[in-house]
Structure 1
Amino acid sequence: MTADWGEQSTADLMSRYVSKEMGYGVPKEGWRICLAHEFKEKRKPFQAKDVSLSNVWEHIGLGVRYLKWWYKKTQVEKKAPFIDMFRAQPLRQIYGAPLGGIGGGTITRGWRGEFCRWQLNPGMYHYKTVMANQPFPAPYFAVCTFSQQSPRDKSTAEETELFTVCLRREGQTIYQQVLSVERPPTLQGWNWGYCGEYAFYHALYPRAWTVYHLPGQNVTLTCRQISPVIPHDYQDSSLPVAVFVWDIENKNDYDLDVSIMFTMVNGSGHKDDRSGGHWNEPFHLEKEGEAVSGVLLHHCTAVNPYTLCIATREQPGREVSHQTAFSPKGTCSSLWRDLMTDGHLDSPTGSSPPTPKGEKVAAALAVGCSVSAQSHNNLELCLVWDMPKITFGSREREHLRRYTRYFGAKGEASASLSHYALTHYRQWEKSIEEWQRPILQDCSLPSWYKSALFNELYFVVDGGTVWTELEADADISGGLRSEEGGLPAQPAVIKKYGRFAYLEGQEYRMYNTYDVHFYASFALIMLWPKLALSVQYDIAGSVVQQDPTERLHLMSGQYSPVKSKNVVPHDIGDPDDEPWHRVNAYLIHDTAHWKDLNLKFVLQVYRDFHLTQDSQYLRDMWPICQAVMASELKFDLDGDGLIENSGYADQTYDGWTVTGPSAYCGGLWLASLCAMCKMARLLDSEETYQHYRNILDRGSAAFDQLLWNGKYYNYDSSGGDHSNSVMSDQCAGHWFLRASGLGEGEYQAFPKEKIRSALKSVYDLNVMHFAGGQMGAVNGMRPEGVPDRSSVQSDEVWIGVVYGLAATMIHEDMWEEGMRTAEGCYRTVWERLGMAFQTPEAYCEKGIFRSLAYMRPLSVWGMQLALNTSQNHQSALFQNGDTDQEEGQDMRHN
């Protein structure tokens, strides 16, 4: 969708640039923004001072205990807190589509062109905009041009890596410009300040386009960035690479020579860039009739060393040149003049010496071509980062990234990776287009939805994601064999497809946070189902394990075990510790008493089986499902077949207390009983079926009696002042039943007419009576039409919950209501608040947001599953099954 551009002249220019006659290949659908755009609304992250006075008292103890823990963690242990309540990330309205495949680390390029968010060490982020002079680590493109300064968020303009363009006519340089709207205090000898009014950015993940009109030159550049994020592909999707294709249109009546220069600092803006010992070298690689060349930037840190690579393909009519090493200090005027003199660089041979401690080194690569009058040509550049072996914060174990299966783990794969990327990106684009085409061409779907569906997928890659090979000595079963209710030591799906983990959020640093993954998992099970099953096996293995170590939980102030047996963990660990081996980094509550985690495991097991029809998976998961349901049954204190909440925040809404039977957890419980009945029938266990059927029948009656008020299900049954609040997520259990092909007939937990009435109440109150119906659904609404302000979370909008609510409405043939509900969130986040590629967990009607770049909004793919189901046709995403490329090609680096 196009943002509010303000001036009509800019809008006209934008429209002209994407017209068919311009031929840039920029799609109609996606998220588009002018480089001169400024978002009017500036929000702040949630802080302790934002807690209302009515909620302060109950959080005083938590605050004191958190402060003590935070001090010990940061000042004594010198570690980063898994949630840092004192250093929330400010809103920077600058991010674009991240670069790279799944699980190999990421670099984010902002929509104005800067490289501004880095996650090379697994799960650990730093936010540096790297300019080619100061501490110079991010890549950047530059073009030779002169223009006015565009307004800019100055808070991030510390450093940058760039692209530059040089235009020459009849042997004379007529134009040279850094393709950046910045005017930094560094690199004063370079031509900065490209006028953003003449360019726009367009994202349809995993691709993005930036279109630059060069003022007064009659030349337009279109930079297309491609990352290999391809559904059902478990090989190329793991590669840490990105390709930039520059389309050049010369509208003049004379020929031009055009060069693009790519400058890169050896580093990522982190303090270890100055640790010394880093060095660069040029390379040339030819195989299979194709040649690539460029510069390797070896970053030689003691922990997790890596190599960056900037490269291009050698082709007839292309002139390739490089500068192996230059200091990003000072004006760098000699590099600028080198390019301006003749459109190429000096190309010295040999490697650079290792950097002294405290110094940085950068490299440059230029590629040029001739563009005839009134014609097109293109140039290709590639960025690679090769960090094959990783250790997490504990430094206890070494893990191999997934892509090492194909390119080796010696740290020598950068050249081969660049060769593969530059010779295969067209195939990637074809696969991406074939995947997206049915949805993009569906005229019944609104444009904003298509943008949300694909662009929210950024988090699968940029959620601190790691994808590793299973260690040879790993035993994920917890030491229990199948006959004891355990699992295979190394399940086949993990051996073949590896282990996968992504963060709850870039600021909430816990891997595979399971209460939130419940929502986000739709993206994985629909697009990379083997990774979804891999996560399930890891969770199942941790269920039967226990860690009796006593630790303080910050909310209660009490000590209890880190992990209890036969309960689902909250998360599988902190990347600053040792994930998979030490679970439950979350220590605010003792989640062994949470009511939703076990139930969400059962519901995902059946949904995943329903979508994959993997019978071995179902058989492996069945004893684990029985174990967690038996554990859950202890929460039915009065034996009526319905579980009770504790009076504390004992579920995913961990700041919103709930007492007695509740709509959310009670609904999940009944849905899980339905799923258990279905699985028992599939596995020919009639006795088990009757056991769960009996509980389901009694629980359904109690649920209806205690919670149904004639219009919707009450928040809880406590009878308190807010127990009859309208919870937007009250139908979450039913959503999963419908997503799993259940929810009707024998496997129905909730009467259809009551579900529709509840959804209508949510739509009328939580959506339409909140912010004029323009911001999605507030979590809690009072029946009189004002938000429930009884907690720090009840008056928030949770984007991922809203997408799940919309999916539920679509399942129930409330298509129009579902779409309008979800549209409010998309337009608020992406168009109004400038939170592109950092969708938060939550925002309030005014003023604040919470937890940027969060997992839960991936639930938008639940909407797509609902649409596929409601249209009574098999999803195009499943028609061809998984494209397992593992067997076909030997890409190993020799």
Structure 2
Amino acid sequence: MPGSGKANPSCCGCCHAFWVFTPRPFVEYAEARSPMPGVHIMVSVSTAVVAMALCQVQEFTGLGYDVPCFGVWYPAGTASSAMPLGALGTGFVDITSAGTFRDSTVENNWLKPRPVPAGCGFSLLIGGQRADLFPNMKPTPGLRFWGHYPAADMEFGNTFGEIEVYARAYAPLIPHDYELSGMPAAFFRFVMMNRGQSPVAAEIAFQWEAAHAGETTQNPAAIEAISNGRQWKGENGSYAVAASGEGWEITPGSPGANTIRVQSVRTLAAGEKAGVVFALAWYFPAWTSSDGEELRHRYADAYPDAAGVMKAVLPRAAEIEKRIIAWQQPIYLSPVPGLLKDAIINGLYILPRNSWWTSDGRFFQSESFTGCPITETFVCRFYGSFPLAAFFPECEKATMRSIAAAQKPDGEIPFGFGTPAGSRSPYYHVQHPIVSPEFALVTWRNAALWNDMDYLKEMYPKVQAALRFAMTLDKDGDGVVNEDPGSETGFPANQYYDVWPWWGTSAYTGGIWLAALRAGEEMAKRMEDAAFAAEMRGWYDRALKSYDDKLWTGSYYRLYNDPEHKRMSATSLTNALCGQWFAYAAGLGEILPKACIRDHIEAVLRWNVAATPYGAVNGVRPDGTVDETFPDHSAVITIGEVWNFCAMAVHAGRVREALQVFTASYGNILLLQRTPWNIPWSLDRHTGAIKWGINYYSNTCVWTLLHAIDPATCQRLAKNDLTLSVPAAAAF
């Protein structure tokens, strides 16, 4: 990948060990070339120029990193979305590209994130120059913002004259570390260097207003002194702020009944560098699910209040920052394109936005608390649970055990656990033709990823029952699970595209079934269950023949075919081979003939990809016209579907084309829409703008694209092996 990673030539040599260097922008983007040699972008020059006017894709050296980083430095306030500061099940406070706080769910207001009060933010007075980072204030001129979840960096440019100021906000998301990753806290490190010839005074104050937490209380809140900080404590929970920094005079205070504050002051000598860390901790231990269950946070078992959290986390602030860098560096060192590195890292933002982690060990994610709130929609976890399984396997096991415990006696797996935020209301016969087969596939993926026979033995009877239930949905006896719409009108559609009815045998649902049969066979072999393995192989052979007979056109797989009722669609679906995507990602290899996979990919590139400059349209006919029959699903871009297609295409040998499509897709999100921390379900094919659904669980399927190109890095991360090695050159 091009880019120097060298220091700004106008900067003195000593900044090499301290500063973030001015990077070289990829101006080629506007010239219809990608930051990947030889790959052409499918974004029009006019829209690319608009994007480049707002922000630039860059390679640079980040503070504390030993390898070049890649991302976007948004000018202050220009990103459309804000990055959440939070970790597993903790809730979040998000931070905008202006360096100000915006919304919060830390008080368990999962479904309705609230704007933080106006009194939450930072004041900086350095060398006589002032900058205030509070909600609703104008962005600080010259500030730039780089988000790399769970961290966000801010450069203040010339705001403070000869005093260079840099800040990093971060949350404690550390793969494989359950203790740190469950801490309800965020950190804010400020580093400054005096480039002038005279000493200057530096003063930074952090203030938090707890207005929302006090709105319903009958008793007045208490403000308590803690080490280098203050705690606000109300009936339902508490907040704490504190600071730590060698050579700083730290003064806590409480300027209002619901406001806590900590101020750090020092003098910077000429040429001196200094840093100080602030922290915010929160503690709101209990809430009630939408179906009436009283729930308690996992973190509530470890700490008595926000002060207890602060006592535990502030001394570990430097360790946490170093460990964030440590897990991100192998990704930045990977030979994959820079845009993919950014998508991989920032895609994990969905964990604090959508997760619960309860004191009894359950772990749940919502399809989208703020977009389509359903707890653990299985068809979304089928796409989006890959990084959870790799980085937090105990959380993945907890979720799968909850799902398995809710299996019906006939073997059916629940679609979800309730809406809008249910925890104990599993419901069934919704998208049932794919849910139970997907349960089998996810179980296989986990067992294979972890090489965990104990887990497989525990889940195997559940898998067998789920597959036998799915067999009952083969209504015409051809070996393939059939579509099963909820009425003669086709609604609900009962598959992933739930407002786009299909009939008979479909490429999407049938392909998932083929993959599930192969997974069932492999699990049976590991369990030394020869009879069930043979049964699965028999079903697979019969199903594959029927799938081919009904759906293969000679050059691609049609959307569906229902010979009994003479209903057929010739539409090409971008992610028609979803089952093949998962089979590749889970190590099952080809479930369809290689030549057919190759030709189908070519058809999608020819029709679906050509129908939009922003990825691929879900449904396109062989004449190139978009399928408008059910336009909210058939005529839009579904991001997860595009990225799954890209991953599958890489496995099938179409690396260059896959990366071209991905670059158009994520380039739109990152540069044109400027919303890497709010990736929706679907986009408008004409404009690339959000069409429906926000903050979607399923989009972390992008990790399967990294796995397709660079499986070695994925495997090392899954094993928590963070050693750095020079990657092999990429052949893009």
After TM superposition, the score normalised by the length of structure 2 is: 0.85
Secondary structure class of the residue paired with 1:858: helix
- Looking at structure 1, the residues matched to 62 and 459 of structure 2 have their Cα atoms a distance apart, in angstroms, of 56
Given that 1:801 and 1:856 are in contact with CA atoms closer than 8 Å, whether structure 2 keeps it comes out as no
Coordinate RMSD, CA, aligned: 2.9
- Aligned residue for 1:459, secondary structure, equals helix
**Aligned mate of 1:789, from 580, 605, 628:** 628
CA distance in 2, matches of 1:19, 1:639: 58
What's the counterpart of residue 378 of structure 2?
514
1:827-882 C-alpha deviation (Å, 9 max, x unpaired): 1222111323111011121365101111111101111222234x6x7722133479
Matched, 1:102 2:32: no
The alpha carbon displacement at 1:279 in A equals 2.2
The 5-angstrom pairing of residues 64-83 of structure 1 reads none
The 3 A distance-change label for structure 1 pair 441 and 881 is closer
1:468 is matched by which residue type in structure 2?
Answer: T
Alignment of 1:692-771 (within 5 A): 692-718=536-562, 723-744=569-590, 749-767=591-609, 769-771=610-612
SS at match of 1:404: helix
Contact 2:150 2:170 in 1 (8 A): yes
Q: CA, structure 1 residues 7+762, in 2 after alignment: closer, same or farther (shift >3 Å)?
A: closer
Gap change, CA 1:99 and 1:10, over 3 Å in 2 = closer
Amino acid paired to 1:101: A
Name 1:597's counterpart in structure 2: 435
**Letter of the aligned partner of 2:364 in structure 1?**
A
> Is the 1:803–1:863 contact (alpha carbons within 8 Å) kept by the matching residues of 2?
yes
Asked if residue 422 in structure 1 is aligned to residue 408 in structure 2, the reply is no
Q: Out of 461, 474, 488, which is 2:352 matched to?
A: 461
The equivalent position to 1:502 in structure 2, one of 337, 343, 365, is 365
Aligned residue pair count = 667
Per-residue CA distance 1:339-358 (angstroms, 9 max, x = gap)? xxxxxxxxxxxxx5xxxxxx
Shift, 1:813, TM fit:
2.0
Task: Determine the structure 2 residue equivalent to 1:583.
Answer: 426
Provide the C-alpha distance between the structure 1 equivalents of 2:93 and 2:714, rounded to a whole number of angstroms: 35
Q: CA offsets, 1:274-297, max 9 Å, x none?
A: 655342424233xxxxxxx21111
Report the Cα distance in structure 1 between the residues aligned to 2:570 and 2:168, rounded to whole angstroms. 52
The equivalent position to 2:122 in structure 1, one of 158, 163, 176, is 163
Corresponding letter in the other structure for 2:96: G
Residue 5 of structure 1 contacts residue 34 of structure 1 at CA under 8 Å; is this kept in 2? no
What per-residue deviation string (whole Å, max 9, x for no partner) do you get for residues 304-341 of structure 1? x110111112x542111133142xxxxxxxxxxxxxxx
CA distance in 1, matches of 2:629, 2:578: 21
In structure 2, the CA distance between the partners of 1:215 and 1:676, relative to structure 1 (3 Å rule), is: closer
User: Structure 1, residues 543-578: CA drift from partner, whole Å, max 9, x if none?
Assistant: 136xxxxxxxxxxxxxxxxxxx521111112364x4
Q: Is the 8 A contact 1:799 1:841 kept in 2?
A: yes
Measure, in 2, the Cα distance between the counterparts of 1:5 and 1:830. Answer: 14
1 CA distance for matches of 2:703 and 2:101? 28
| 2:498 partner letter | D
CA distance, structure 1, for counterparts of residue 288 and residue 54 of structure 2? 48
Aligned positions of 1:852-891 closer than 5 A: 852-869=694-711, 875-880=715-720
Partners of 2:160 and 2:451 lie apart in 1 by 60
User: Aligned AA for 1:730?
Assistant: A
SS of the equivalent of 2:208 reads strand
**Whole-angstrom distance in 1 between the partners of 2:530 and 2:286:** 49
Deviation at 1:820, TM superposition (A): 1.6
Q: Is the 8 A contact 2:231 2:306 kept in 1?
A: yes
- Matched-pair contact (CA < 8 Å) for 1:114–1:160: no
Distance 1:215 1:794, change over 3 A: same
User: What does residue 403 of structure 1 align with?
Assistant: 299
* Cα distance between partner residues in 2 of 1:854 and 1:202: 22
> Is structure 2 residue 679 aligned with structure 1 residue 839?
yes
Q: Which amino acid aligns with 1:417?
A: V
User: SS of 2:73's equivalent?
Assistant: strand
Q: Counterpart in 2 of 1:639?
A: 477
SS where residue 239 of structure 2 aligns?
strand
Amino acid at match of 1:534: A
For 1:694, the aligned partner's letter is: G
Q: Map 1:29-178 to 2 at 5 A.
A: 29-35=70-76, 37=78, 94-122=80-108, 124-130=110-116, 137=117, 159=118, 161-167=120-126, 174-178=128-132
Residues of 2 paired with 1:532 and 1:372: CA distance?
A: 51
Cα-to-partner distance string for 1:187-246 (whole Å, 9 max, x where unaligned):
xxxxxx4543x1100011111111113446322321101211011111110001111000
Structure 1: state its 5+ residue gaps: 38-92, 131-136, 138-158, 169-173, 184-192, 286-292, 327-351, 353-360, 471-497, 546-564, 585-589, 883-894
CA distance 1:722–1:294, shift in 2 (3 Å): farther
Change (3 A) 1:740 1:721: same
- Which residue does 1:298 correspond to in 2? 233
Matched, 1:212 2:156: yes
CA displacement, residues 138-164 of structure 1 (integer Å, 9 cap, x when unaligned): xxxxxxxxxxxxxxxxxxxxx452100
Could you tell me which of 460, 463, 487 is aligned with 1:625? 463
d(CA) in 2 for partners of 1:212, 1:729: 44
Distance across 1 between alignment mates of 2:657 and 2:109: 37
Rounded Cα–Cα distance in structure 2 between residues aligned with 1:541 and 1:6: 51
Equivalent residue in structure 2 for 1:28, among 63, 69, 90:
69
TM-score of the superposition, structure 1-length normalised?
A: 0.70
Correspondence for 2:10: none
The match for 1:312 among 229, 243, 254 is 243
Q: 2-side partners of 1:638 and 1:612: how far apart?
A: 37
Q: Does residue 509 of structure 2 align to residue 665 of structure 1?
A: yes
Displacement of 1:672 in angstroms is: 0.9
Q: How does 1:757-836 map to 2 (within 5 A)?
A: 757-767=599-609, 769-771=610-612, 774-791=613-630, 792-836=632-676
Amino acid at match of 1:167: I
Residue deviations 1:591-610, cap 9 Å, x none? 35621101110111111111
SS at match of 2:679: coil
1:452 maps to what in 2?
A: 343
- How far apart are the structure 1 equivalents of 2:99 and 2:173? 21
Q: Following the alignment from structure 2 to structure 1, what is the Cα–Cα distance between the partners of residues 667 and 527?
A: 45
1:515 Cα deviation from its structure 2 partner: 0.6
| C-alpha contact 1:507 1:851 (8 A) present in aligned 2 | yes
Secondary structure of the 1:785 match is: coil
> Which of 392, 400, 403 lines up with 1:539 in the alignment?
403
**Contact 2:77/2:97 (<8 A) preserved:** no
* Offset, 1:425: 2.1
Give distance in 2, aligned partners of 1:207 and 1:688: 48
Distance 1:677 1:452, change over 3 A: same
Instruction: Confirm or deny: 8 A CA contact 2:203 2:264 kept in the other structure.
Output: yes
Of 166, 177, 189, 1:222 maps to 166
**Does structure 1 conserve the Cα–Cα contact (< 8 Å) formed by 2:100 and 2:133?**
no
Post-superposition CA distance 1:707-731 (Å, at most 9, x none): 0011111100137786110011111
Percent identity, aligned pairs only, is 24
1:378 CA drift (Å): 1.1
Q: Which residue of 1 aligns with 2:494?
A: 650
Letter in 2 for 1:702: S
Distance 1:794 1:208 in 2: 36
1:102 partner amino acid: L
| Alignment CA distance shift 1:880-1:105 (3 Å) | closer
Is the 8 Å Cα contact of residues 96 and 837 (structure 1) preserved in structure 2? yes
Q: 1:281 corresponds to which letter in structure 2?
A: I
For the residue of structure 1 that corresponds to 2:302, the secondary structure is helix
CA distance in 2, matches of 1:693, 1:8: 53
Counterparts of 2:111 and 2:99 in 1: how far apart (Å)? Answer: 19
Q: Match of 1:413?
A: 305
Separation (CA, whole Å) in 2 of partners of 1:21 and 1:513: 37
